[in-house]
Amino acid sequence: MKQYLIQKLISLLPVLFGISLLAFVLGILTPGNPAELVLSQGGYEPTPEQIAEMEEQMGLDAPYPVQYLRWVGRVLSGDLGTSYSSRNPVGEELMRRLPVTLKLAACSILLTVVFGIALGCTAAAWQGRLPDRVIQALINVQLSFPAFWLALLMILFFAETLGWLPTSGTGGPRYMVMPSLVLSSASMATAARLTRSALLEEFGKQYCTAAMARGIGRWRLVVRNALPNAVVPVIAMLGNSLGGMLGGSIIIESIFALPGIGSYALAAVTNRDYPALQGYVLLTGFIYVLITLLVDTLSMLLNPKVRLGGKKI
């Protein structure tokens, strides 16, 4: 167990290196001189002397590998740089906004777990009959609707027409309903579909046939016997979705005016605020890796077969 974890952690190092390299290269590849960008925020026209001075100040005259190492050094000491547009430390801004994104992702994953698995179980229990067909149709709709469109439709319907929910902003649970429903829509459908097919596979196994032969109720069979076996792939999928939600909330956050890291990234793109973008890429990459690690560990706990190399437990 310990060994497995250590092995996992070591294998993550190249990934983290890759993410940091990618984030750094992002700043280099982008058009425009960073020194000029810093100075020209808000329409100011800097003179060539000012630009040269800023270049020196920012250390842009050093070769790229040196710049990279300096940058990594600063990042490791917690300094993600200063945003071009707001002049605030990027780390501070991300931390201020992260709770909003985490809250949104948490609500979405909760909806995914609860509704995804429930829908999957219902569909499997009534396979081929009306509930199954209704749920299948729903899944197809959920999977094929682009999130931003769904978001606009929901705002139009629930906020503008019916006035039940606020269109946007932060506040109590009411403010989270639409964003988390939209964000979880696709993953909820995937979870339902996965649960359904995994359950059906379990139903075909002998222990289920035996249980059914003994007259066990449909729901009891699903919940007590088959689901624990069927849920492993769903957990793995949830991990991926959570990562996707953290990164994929960009559009949703800006539509619903949620001040999370996603809308920050979008504003950074519009303002050509590269330190902010680098920080965002680094942070989300890091969180994604962390979640993958967590999910792997969980899967291992849930299913000994997942453990490495088929070693003895």
Partner 1 sequence: MKNAKKRILALLLALACVLGMAACGGQNTDTEAENAAEETTEATDSAAEESDGAEETAEAVDPDAEIVLAGYRNLAPGEKDGYYCSKILYVWEPLVTQDENAAPVPCLAESWEMSENGTQWTFYLRQGVKFHDGSDFNADAVIANFDRMKMGVKSSSFYPLDIDSHYPNLESYEKVDDYTIRLTFSQPAPTQLYNMVNFGSAIYSPNCFDENGDFNGICIGTGPFKITENKLDEYVLLERFDDYWGEAAKAKTIRVRVIPDADTRFSALKSGEIMGVIDLNAIPTSLAVELEGDDNFALTTTKSTMIRFLCLNGTQFPFNDVRMRQAVSLALQRSVITEDLYDGFGTPTTNILNYSTPFYKEFPVEEDMEKAKELAAEVLGDERVTVTYLYNGSEAAQKGEAELIASWLSEIGIDCELMPMEMTNMKEQMKTGDYGIARMQQGLSNSEPSTIFRRFMLTSGDQNQNYSLGYHSDEVDALMAEAESALDMDVRTECYNRIQEISTQEFPVVPLFNDVTLMAYNTKLTGYDAKLYGIELPLVAWAE
Shortest separation between residue 94's beta carbon and partner 1, angstroms: 13
18 CB-contact burial (10 Å; exposed 0-12 / middle 13-18 / buried 19+)? exposed
Write the interaction track for partner 1 spanning residues 235-254; mark x where CB under 8 A is met and - where it is not.
Answer: x--x---------------x
What gap in Å lies between CA 46 and CA 30, rounded to an integer? 20
The yes or no reply on residue 167 touching partner 1 (CB under 8 A) is yes
The yes or no reply on residue 85 touching partner 1 (CB under 8 A) is yes
The yes or no reply on residue 187 touching partner 1 (CB under 8 A) is no
Region of 15-23, 109-117, 126-134, 196-204 interacting with partner 1 (CB under 8 A): 109-117
User: Do 194 and 234 meet the contact criterion of CB atoms below 8 Å apart?
Assistant: yes
51, 54, 100, 188: which one binds partner 1 (CB under 8 A): 100
**Helix, strand or coil, per DSSP, at residue 89:** strand
Shortest separation between residue 113's beta carbon and partner 1, angstroms: 6
Q: How far is CA 122 from CA 128, 134, 190, in A?
A: 11, 10, 15
The yes or no reply on residue 305 touching partner 1 (CB under 8 A) is no
Instruction: At 90, list the tokens.
Output: 């990027």
The yes or no reply on residue 146 touching partner 1 (CB under 8 A) is no
Shortest separation between residue 66's beta carbon and partner 1, angstroms: 26
Shortest separation between residue 184's beta carbon and partner 1, angstroms: 11
Q: Which residues contact 266 (CB under 8 A, 6 or more apart)?
A: 250, 251, 253, 254
Number of residues that bind partner 1 (CB under 8 A): 55
Shortest separation between residue 31's beta carbon and partner 1, angstroms: 5
Write the interaction track for partner 1 spanning residues 24-53; mark x where CB under 8 A is met and - where it is not.
Answer: -------xx--------xxxxx--------
Instruction: At 162, list the tokens.
Output: 């019916």
DSSP H stretches of helix in the chain? 2-29, 34-39, 48-58, 64-76, 90-111, 117-125, 130-144, 147-154, 174-203, 206-213, 218-220, 227-255, 261-271, 274-302
User: Do 103 and 111 meet the contact criterion of CB atoms below 8 Å apart?
Assistant: no
Nearer to partner 1, 61 or 160 (CB): 160
Shortest separation between residue 129's beta carbon and partner 1, angstroms: 28
The yes or no reply on residue 175 touching partner 1 (CB under 8 A) is yes
What gap in Å lies between CA 40 and CA 259, rounded to an integer? 25
Q: Which of 218, 257, 40, 205 is nearest to 123 (CA)?
A: 218
Shortest separation between residue 268's beta carbon and partner 1, angstroms: 13
Beta-carbon-side half-sphere exposure of residue 276 (alpha carbons within 13 Å): 24
Tokens 């929901």 identify what position? 154
What gap in Å lies between CA 289 and CA 114, rounded to an integer? 24
The yes or no reply on residue 59 touching partner 1 (CB under 8 A) is no
Shortest separation between residue 163's beta carbon and partner 1, angstroms: 6
Q: Please, which of residues 258-287 interact with partner 1 by CB under 8 A?
A: 259, 263, 266-267, 272
Residues that bind partner 1 (CB under 8 A): 31-32, 41-45, 85-88, 96-97, 99-100, 102-103, 105-107, 109-110, 113, 152, 155-156, 159-160, 163, 166-172, 174-175, 228, 231, 235, 238, 254-257, 259, 263, 266-267, 272, 298, 301-303
